[in-house]
Amino acid sequence: MNYFKPGTGEVTQQSQQGLKLMERIGCTSCHVQDLRIERDRRIADVETRFDPARGIFNRLYATATTLFKIVEDGDQYPQLLPKGKPFLVENIFADFKRHDLGPAFHEREYDGSLVTEFVTEPLWGVGSTPSYGHDGRSINLEEVIMRHGGEAQETRDAFASLNWLNQRKILVFLETLVIFPPDDTASNLNPGVPGTVSPQNPSEHGSINLGALFQIPSEGRE
């Protein structure tokens, strides 16, 4: 929660329809899209989205917004503290509860006991991070969906009953939930060199360096 949240890849009509299908067949009953946090400890928010015009590397561009408050304490440089207000974590897709997803997810411990319940895995970033499942045994998104059983059997069967095109729409939506390298992602803090054709020069890609938010002009760059 305190690091850069995953980004959003290219959003299309097909991916938007995929999210609606996920809601309709019950995926979001456990993979809850947004999570409310009562006290925000961050000092900045970073929103990273598909932007081929400004996104030099991976066609992603990040916008950082400060969230701190200035507390005057008599010092030359006053304290900068998190605002601590409630906020909504968008597109995390998890309820952080334990569920029994059937025997294909169960695990045998070394002492012979059987573990049958696991915490819902957040879906943000699944467009970039195979393998899948809490144990990494599923090779792609379709296989991990079809592996669901137990409490998720009805939703799994609903997915299986969709035609190929509607199944593909769900997968396309999931592929928009991406992670990214902050050091190579252009942002309003360091936009890089738009139009660069020099992939061997990472300094031209831009980056997300939150230190730029706290530089003291008279002291120069960090």
Question: What is the predicted pLDDT for the residue at 219?
Answer: 47
Q: Which amino acid is at 26?
A: G
Sites in the chain below the pLDDT cut of 50: 217-219, 222
Residue pLDDT, tens place only, 56-65: 989 999 999 9
Question: What is the predicted pLDDT for the residue at 74?
Answer: 80
Cα–Cα–Cα angle for 175, 165, 30, nearest 5°? Answer: 50
Does the pTM surpass 0.85? The reply is yes
What does R_g of the chain's alpha carbons equal in angstroms? 21
Question: What is the predicted pLDDT for the residue at 1?
Answer: 53
- Given a contact cutoff of 8 angstroms between Cβ atoms, the answer to whether 121 and 88 are in contact is no
- Given a contact cutoff of 8 angstroms between Cβ atoms, the answer to whether 132 and 140 are in contact is yes
Question: What is the predicted pLDDT for the residue at 221?
Answer: 52
CA torsion angle 155 158 164 169 (round to 10): -50
Question: What is the predicted pLDDT for the residue at 2?
Answer: 55
Which two three-digit tokens encode residue 109? 């411990």
For 128, left (φ over 0), alpha (ψ -120 to 50), or beta?
alpha
β-sheet bridge partners, residue 2: none
